[in-house]
Structure 1
C-alpha cells in the first residue's frame, strides 16, 4: 500500500472533523489504517480529537476497530484527550463509545488530566453538562477515588442496596467541590 502524502493526511483530518465516513473508508482502503494513528495537526490533535469534538458517532464506531487503542489516550499539546473534547462539547454517545470500547483503556480515560488539571469529568462539569457528568461518575472507578480520599471503600460494606442513592463529592484541580447524587433506582 502506498504511503499517504501530506495532502492525503490533511484531507483525512478534515474528513474526520466533518464526519465524512465515506472519505474515511476510502482512506483506509487506499492507505490502510496504521497511518491514522500518526496523523496530528499543529496542536497535536488526532483524528479521534476531530471526530469526538464534533460528535460524529457513526465515524467513530467505524474507525475504532482500525486504530491503535493507545490513540484513545493520546493527548494534544494542551494535554486533552478525545474524551476531554467529547465531554467539553456534550457528546454523550461519543463519550460512551470512547470509554466503553472493548479494546480501549476503559474508565481509566476519565482519570487523565489535561494541562489545566482538568479530567474529562471536570470539563463536563465546567461546561454545565450534567447528563455527561452524571454518566461519567456512574461508570468511573470510584474505588480509586474513595481510596485516594481516605474514605470507606464500598466493597468493605456488608450490604449494598442497589436502590439507594449515593452522594459523590469530587474535587477539581481548583479545589472546587462538585456534589452529585447517583440514584440506584431505574425510574429516574
Structure 2
C-alpha cells in the first residue's frame, strides 16, 4: 500500500505540532505519510521540523525518525537546529543534538549562520553561560598549525598545552592557554 503525499496544510500542521511538542500529532503524520516527508518539510523561512522542535525544547520522538543529515540542515538565515536550541537555552536538546549517534557530532558546534555566529556564539550572545560552557567543553579543539600560531601571537605553547580561541557575537576574539595541572602558570605568557 502506497502512502499518500502530505498537503500544504498537513505540512503546516506538522510544523506547528513540532513547535508545540505535540508528539501524538507528529506520530500520526508519520503513520499516515511515512517518515521521509519529515526531512523535507520547511516553512517559508526554511525552518525544518527539527528547527521548530529544538527552538522550543521538544525533541523526544523526532530524533528517532528523521535523517541524521537534518541535524545540520540550515534555514534561510543559515542557522541549524543547534543554533535555535542554543539561542533558546535548551541544554538537554543541545546535548542530544551534539551527542546523537551517526549525526555530525561536535562539528555542529562549528557551523556559522548568516550573522557569522556558531551555536556557541548564539549561547554567548544571549548570556547563556551554562550552555556556552558545555559547548566549549565538548567542541573540537583543532591544534591547527601550532608553529604558525606561535609565530603570529608570540605565545609559547608546550606539547601538552591547549590554546583556545573563541570569537564572541561582536567579533572580538578571546584567547586562552590551558596548561596541564601542576605546570607553573608564571611561565605562560
Give TM-score scaled by structure 1 length.
0.81
- Confirm whether residue 170 of structure 1 aligns to residue 169 of structure 2: no
Distance 1:27 1:53 in 2: 20
**Could you report, residue by residue, the CA deviation over 1:45-75 in whole angstroms, capped at 9, with x for unpaired residues?**
000000000011xxx2321121111111111
> Aligned in 2, Cα 1:142/1:3: closer, same or farther, shift over 3 Å?
same
In structure 1, list runs of 5 or more residues that go unmatched: 161-165
Report the CA distance between 1:171 and its aligned residue: 2.0
- Match in the other structure for 1:62: 61
> Aligned in 2, Cα 1:148/1:92: closer, same or farther, shift over 3 Å?
farther
Asked which structure has the greater CA Rg, the reply is: 2
Match runs of 1:133-152 below 5 Å: 133-143=132-142, 146-147=143-144, 150-151=148-149
Over 4 Å off, 4+ runs: 148-152, 178-182
Give TM-score scaled by structure 2 length.
0.81
In structure 2, list runs of 5 or more residues that go unmatched: 151-157, 182-189
More helix by share: 1
8 Å CA contact 2:125, 2:169 repeated in 1: no
Give the match's secondary structure for 2:89: coil
- Match in the other structure for 1:3: 5
Equivalent pairs counted in the alignment come to: 171
Distance 1:12 1:180 in 2: 45
- Match in the other structure for 1:115: 114
Distance 1:99 1:116 in 2: 21
> Aligned in 2, Cα 1:171/1:30: closer, same or farther, shift over 3 Å?
same
